[in-house]
Amino acid sequence: MTIKEICERFRICGDYTACTQINNGIINKSYLVTYRCDGQERKYLVQRINRAVFRRPDKIMQNVVGVTEFIRAKMLAQGIDPERRVLKYAETADRKNYVLDSEGNYWRLYNFIDDSVVYDEATDAEIIEQVGKAFGEFQNYLSDYDAGSLYVSIPNFHNTRRRYDLFYEAVMVDAEDRAGKVKREIDLCRSHETLATKLSIMAENKEIPLHVTHNDTKSNNVIFDREEKKALAVIDLDTVMPGLVAYDFGDAARFICSDAPEDELDLSKVKFNLEKFRALTKGFVGALKGRLTPIETDTLALGVYTMTVELAVRFLTDYLNGDTYFSTNYPGHNLDRAKCQLALADSVYGKLDAMREIVREYAK
């Protein structure tokens, strides 16, 4: 099917006029399409859902439509114009939010937020604060959404306890005969185990409430107004699942507040930056003021440490398994990534008290 044919299955006003591919994302294929409706130009984004990653795109669509319509209703009730603030998925004639093409691919169509920009890397404090605010507001809008009603697209995604079990299995099997070379890294992972598995055990014991989490809180999943440097909307919602606020916050901080890329070779450069953390916390926690329970507030900093160690363990597990999950650019790439996350985990660990203090300051 052509993009035009796909578009025509959705119920949208006017005539199709143009289409260009957007090459930014890495998971889904995206196209910008233009329509003319009552003499006015309208822009939409048409996106093919990655079937290799998501087995049940129909269920994913139920999740994303559920949460975006929930947010939209709240915005309308608050007198906020939702047009550029939340995604709106078009429907087909038979009231579905996707089109299934002849090759078995799922497509969706939603509002393109024009005059906007995304930041692949956020280094400026103002931008970091806005990214934090966008994800914090997302959490805030969904704080009373029934997280249990969501389809779990990736089971055990942040079950750190289980990630460790898989890691030990990989060490034992040692499929590529690599474990002997990475004894030091294996021991380092082991040394983090007790503290890094604390959150997932608390979650399992229902000591911390489950909420809707985004699970991909990178800076380029927040759309900004091009002129104003103000965050408009959170996008890339395919991984919304039940989880802990600390997961979203922790993963955002892990990614944004590190001064080095995820595969930095010079480990002396890998440091957790408290100034960036302050900016992110100001935005995120500020947006959730009064919504967080005391235990959630207490565990946000631990979330950063947990997400960092968890990723180190996953990189090292994949290295031991022969690089079957993460795509790599060279042999040993996953090992370098694991070393880098372990260095970051050390830096985070040394700053946990200061981080807790910063969180408390903005939670007041």
Binding span for ligand ADP by CB under 6 A among 23-31, 75-83, 136-144, 183-191: 23-31
Considering the rule CB under 6 A, would residue 116 count as an interface residue with ligand ADP? yes
Residue 228: what are its φ and ψ, rounded to 5°?
Answer: -85, -10
CA distance 108 to 130: 28
- The residue (of 45 and 335) whose beta carbon lies closer to ligand ADP is 45
- Closest to 345 measured CA to CA, from 285, 247, 267: 267
Name the minimum Å distance from CB 129 to ligand ADP.
20
Q: Which of 114, 138, 149, 105 is nearest to 41 (CA)?
A: 114
Q: Of 84 and 291, which has the nearer Cβ to ligand ADP?
A: 84
Q: Which is nearer to Mg ion, 223 or 355 (CB)?
A: 223
d(CA 61, CA 120): 25
Give the CA distances from residue 193 to residues 178, 204, 252, 279, 356, in Å, rounded to whole numbers and listed in that order: 21, 16, 21, 29, 20
Q: Which is nearer to Mg ion, 221 or 334 (CB)?
A: 221
Does position 310 interact with Mg ion (CB under 5 A)? The reply is no
Considering only residues 194-223, where is the footprint of Mg ion by CB under 5 A? Answer: 221
Q: Which is nearer to Mg ion, 214 or 271 (CB)?
A: 214
Q: Does 263 bind Mg ion (CB under 5 A)?
A: no
Q: Least separation, in Å, of the C-beta of 155 and ligand ADP?
A: 20
3-state secondary structure of 330: coil
Please identify which residue in 129, 137, 185, 236 interacts with ligand ADP, judged by CB under 6 A: 236
Q: Are 342 and 313 spatial neighbours (Cβ–Cβ below 8 Å)?
A: no
Tell me which residues in 152-211 interact with ligand ADP (CB under 6 A).
none
First vs last Cα of the chain: how many Å apart? 54
Judged by beta carbon, residue 98 or residue 164, the one nearer ligand ADP is: 98
Q: Minimal distance in Å, beta carbon 236 to ligand ADP?
A: 4
Q: Which amino acid is at 53?
A: V
Distance CA 322, CA 177 (A): 9
230: left (phi over 0), alpha (psi -120 to 50) or beta: beta
Q: What are phi and psi of 248, to 5 degrees?
A: -65, -45
Q: Per-residue x/- marks for Mg ion, 220-259, CB under 5 A?
A: -x--------------x-----------------------
DSSP bridge partners of 106: 100
Please pick, from the candidates 19, 22, 267, 354, the single residue that binds ligand ADP as defined by CB under 6 A: 22
Q: Phi and psi (nearest 5°) for 48?
A: -90, 125
Sole binder of ligand ADP in the list 46, 61, 113, 244 (CB under 6 A): 113
| CB atoms near residue 180 (< 10 Å) | 8
221 binds ligand ADP (CB under 6 A): yes
Indicate the residue among 33 and 280 with the shorter CB distance to ligand ADP: 33
Of all helices (H) and strands (E), which one includes residue 12?
A: none
Q: In whole angstroms, how close is the CB of 20 to Mg ion at the nearest point?
A: 18
**Which residue lies nearer to ligand ADP by CB, 29 or 291?**
29
- The residue ranges that bind Mg ion (CB under 5 A) are 25, 221, 236
Interface with ligand ADP by CB under 6 A: which residues?
A: 22, 24-28, 30, 45, 87, 110-113, 116, 118, 220-221, 223, 235-236
